[in-house]
């Protein structure tokens, strides 16, 4: 386990979500859906399966992609520590060794926690149950509350999608109530937040991607905004109030994004696009969620259940 060094200086801890993409050199990712097929599936069984993987490396190297590249830049230039909200391990330090895995708190994926835990409850509640299990059982993980307690003189910047914020928001609210956190040492950067957490957040809008200081894709929007705010905040010893003002200025300087009207596609048109994508992605497992993601990346729109039905039809044609 990475040792925790308490520093008397007020420093920045950057907390963000894990990534779906992993470095190839650490082997094939272990899918959550594969483990959930076994009887008595639980966080303990999952962690045991991960521990048996041969290839492991620092999370800093295992995670890849644009979002992670920006996170590493933040660690190098602004933050003393980088922490990861991991659907596979719980809250971990980026220096912890991990195996490659495929698990997510987002819905609509074959490796979504809520699709594999099998509980009769809402996805949000299943995610929290899974998270609490990982936190309790993983020796290299700790709760957010414990992190805030150990470094209560420091600053915490959390940049993540609402799905991941929802998993840990109870810890955050408890830490605010117990005065471990305040408006002076916590800033959350996300696109949707509970009303009672708005004073501790900046709610990002897609339009800020048009600003030359941000750019990038939606996947890395929160981390890119975080990097910009930390860069500007460095001059004021990372004043949270100043960083919030900087975001408001950033949003005002950003142009609205003109969205082209989406053409409604017929079943035949969707089938043709799916068939083209199956040719384009020959080395990818034929999973509807993977193809739907690429389908949407290309600017098309289709309701998930309808897409799954048409995907099964397209697969039959390909197999035959």
Is the domain of 207 the same as that of 285?
A: no
190 and 291 in a common domain: no
> Could you give the number of structural domains in the chain?
2
Q: Between β-strands 155-159 and 12-17, what pairing exists: parallel, antiparallel or unpaired?
A: parallel
The answer to whether residue 6 is domain-embedded is no
For residue 184, give the nearest of 159, 155, 146 by alpha carbon: 155
What is d(CA 52, CA 99) in angstroms, rounded to the nearest whole number? 9
Note whether 203 and 190 are within 8 A (CB).
yes
In a domain, 106, yes or no: yes
Residues 64 and 207 in one domain: yes
244 and 271, same domain (yes or no): no
Q: Mean pLDDT for each consecutive 10-residue tract of the chain (320 residues)?
A: 45 96 94 87 95 97 96 98 98 98 90 89 93 96 96 97 95 98 97 94 94 92 98 94 97 82 82 80 64 79 87 69
Three-class secondary structure assignment of 16-74: EECCCCECHHHCCCEEHHHHCCCCCCCHHHHHHHHHCCCCCEEHHHHECCHHHHHHHHH
* Confidence (pLDDT) at 47: 97
Q: Are 71 and 28 in a shared domain?
A: yes
Regarding whether 280 and 235 lie in a shared domain, the answer is: no
Instruction: Verify that 233 and 311 share a domain, yes or no.
Output: no
Same-domain check for residues 141 and 279: no
Same domain, 150 and 276: no
274 shares a domain with 239: no
In a domain, 261, yes or no: no
The per-residue pLDDT for 285 is: 53
pLDDT at position 260 is: 65
Residue 107 resides in a domain: yes
262: in domain: no
Asked if 74 and 230 count as a contact pair (C-beta separation under 8 A), the reply is yes
User: Which residue range forms the structural domain that includes residue 47?
Assistant: 12-252
Q: Are residues 150 and 28 in the same domain?
A: yes
Domain-ending residue, one of 220, 252, 284: 252
5 assigned to some structural domain: no
Q: Are residues 219 and 289 in the same domain?
A: no
Q: Give the model's pLDDT for residue 2.
A: 43
Say what the pTM is: 0.80
């Amino acid at each position: 386990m990475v040792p925790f060094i308490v520093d008397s200086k007020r420093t920045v801890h950057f907390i963000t979500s894990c990534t779906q993409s992993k470095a190839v050199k650490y082997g094939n990712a272990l899918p959550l859906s594969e483990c959930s097929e076994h009887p008595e599936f639980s966080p303990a069984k999952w962690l045991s399966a991960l521990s048996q993987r041969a290839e492991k490396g620092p999370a800093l190297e295992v995670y890849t992609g644009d979002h992670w590249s920006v996170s590493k830049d933040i660690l190098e230039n602004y933050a003393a520590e980088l922490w990861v909200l991991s659907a596979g391990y719980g809250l971990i330090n980026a220096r912890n060794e991990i195996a490659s895995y495929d698990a997510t708190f987002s819905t609509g994926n074959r490796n979504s926690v809520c699709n594999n835990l099998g509980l009769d409850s809402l996805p949000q509640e299943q995610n929290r149950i899974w998270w609490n299990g990982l936190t309790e059982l993983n020796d290299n993980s700790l709760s957010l509350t414990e992190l805030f307690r150990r470094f209560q003189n420091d600053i915490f910047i959390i940049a993540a999608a609402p799905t991941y914020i929802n998993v840990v928001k109870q810890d955050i609210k408890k830490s605010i109530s117990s005065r471990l956190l305040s408006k002076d040492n916590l800033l959350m950067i996300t696109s949707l937040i509970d009303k009672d957490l708005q004073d501790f957040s900046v709610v990002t809008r897609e339009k800020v991607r048009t600003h030359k200081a941000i750019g990038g894709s939606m996947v890395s929007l929160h981390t890119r905004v975080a990097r910009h705010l930390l860069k500007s905040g460095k001059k004021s010893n990372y004043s949270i109030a100043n960083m919030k003002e900087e975001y408001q200025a950033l949003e005002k300087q950003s142009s609205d994004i003109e969205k082209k009207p989406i053409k409604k596609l017929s079943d035949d048109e969707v089938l043709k696009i799916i068939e083209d994508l199956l040719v384009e992605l020959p080395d990818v497992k034929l999973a509807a969620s993977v193809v739907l993601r690429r389908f949407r990346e290309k600017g098309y729109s289709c309701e998930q259940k309808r897409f799954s039905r048409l995907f099964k039809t397209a697969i039959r044609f390909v197999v035959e």
